[in-house]
Amino acid sequence: MSTNKSARLSEAEVATYRREGLVVPDYRLPEETLARMRAALDRLIAANPDVSRDSMFCPHIRSGGVQGLGGAEEWLEFARLPAVLDMVEQLIGPDIVLWGTTLFGKPAGYGKEVPWHQDGEYWPIRPLATCSVWIALDDCDAENGCLRYVPGSHAAGRLLRHRVTERDGIVLNQELEAGEFDEGGARDVVLKAGQMSFHDVYMIHGSRPNRSTRRRAGYVLRFMPATSHFDRGLGATLAARSGVVDFVRRPLWLLRGIDRSGMNDFSVGHEEQ
Ligand SMILES: O=C(O)CCC(=O)C(=O)O
């Protein structure tokens, strides 16, 4: 497994992402970066005792939105790792916007289920496009509620029917309607700490609760190609539905290239940073 500073996905890895909607590359974070991320998570949890560890939205922003999470600059640095951006570039092209991050902390013993969903249902991005990089901060497997996905479910490039749910014990509040897809083909994403997976915005995924004695934390980076528009008007509607994010004041960072859409606003939300 490679931990080099620069990284490239092999042709086979790119093909897997295109075919299945998710790939786990050979690349793994250097031990030292992983240790810094884990220490940062300890600090974040200590500084935000009232925010659920199951999902902490936007730790890379000082003031993360309606959750009241107090974030820190170090999470923004982790979202700028050149090796990760090099691989993202292979998947979505050279113009890259960081528009979100989430820490799915899934504590040992009581970490919640993430219901089956497609990310695109939640997000105000048009044309809909995002590559999510899910970085394992702990070893993740079936026992502690690793990410699960339905290979190939992104291929039609279509959002299936979701419903809003207030079910107890889940993290997000929109889930795919039963009958919209076949869970039978789902696969576990088993990762060692420091490994990561990349997934497409249309890919069906979720995860089971954590009943084990081991935490299952992942830091997820959301990158869209700058050919797409982060539409804050639509964001107001979608954020009201989910209740835990602020898409209207969300700062965007153009990390590489130029804003091809010509419509993205990179000043909103930065005053507070
Ligand atoms: O961490 C999980 O279990 C779910 C993650 C997820 O839904 C996502 O990254 O889009």
Is residue 3 pLDDT above 60, yes or no?
Answer: no
- Write down the pLDDT at residue 72: 95
| Residue 1: per-residue pLDDT | 52
- The span from the CA of 46 to the CA of 178, in Å, is 38
Torsion of CA 139, 145, 150, 155, to 10 degrees: -70
210 CB near ligand 1 (under 6 Å): no
> Does residue 270 fall inside a structural domain?
no
Range in 14-28, 141-155, 160-174, 203-217 the model is least confident about = 160-174
Q: Which residue has the higher pLDDT, 174 or 15?
A: 15
Using one digit for the tens of pLDDT, what is the confidence trace for 36-90?
999 999 999 999 999 999 999 999 999 867 788 999 999 999 999 999 999 999 9
| Nearest residue to 164 (alpha-carbon basis) of 174, 172, 150, 156 | 174
Does any ligand 1 atom lie closer than 6 A to the CB of residue 207? yes
Q: Please check whether residue 80 lies inside any domain of the structure.
A: yes
pTM listed for this prediction: 0.96
The rounded Å distance from CA 100 to ligand 1 centre is 13
Domain count, the chain: 1
Nearest CA to ligand 1 atom 10: 119
Q: Ligand 1 within 6 A of 191 CB?
A: no
Atom of ligand 1 nearest to the CA of 172: 7
Mean pLDDT of the chain: 94
- Ligand 1 atom closest to the CA of 220, numbered from 1: 9
Does residue 48 lie within any of the structural domains?
Answer: yes
Q: With respect to residue 3, please indicate whether it lies within any of the assigned structural domains.
A: no
Closest ligand 1 atom to 104 CA: 1
**196-to-83, 87, 92, 153, 225 alpha-carbon distances in Å:** 12, 11, 17, 20, 20
Is residue 81 situated within a structural domain?
yes
Which CATH number characterizes residue 143's domain? 2.60.120.620
* Residue 119, ligand 1, Cβ within 6 A: yes
For residue 35, how many C-alpha atoms fall within 13 Å in the half-sphere facing its CB? 3
Query: Phi-psi category of 21—alpha, beta or left, where left has phi over 0 and alpha has psi -120 to 50?
Result: left
For the stretch 216-270, pLDDT in tens is 999 999 999 999 999 999 999 888 877 778 899 999 999 999 999 999 999 999 9
When pLDDT is cut at 50, 70 and 90, the band that residue 8 belongs to is very high
Which of the four pLDDT bands, split at 50, 70 and 90, describes residue 271? confident
Residue 263 counted as domain residue: no
Domain of residue 168: give its range.
11-256
Q: Provide the 3-class DSSP secondary structure of residue 81.
A: coil
Question: How do 196-200 and 131-136 pair as beta strands?
Answer: antiparallel
Examine residue 96 and state whether it is found in any structural domain, yes or no. yes
Separation of 272 CA from ligand 1 center, angstroms?
27
* Sign of the torsion angle spanned by Cα atoms 225, 230, 234, 235: positive
Within a domain: 169: yes
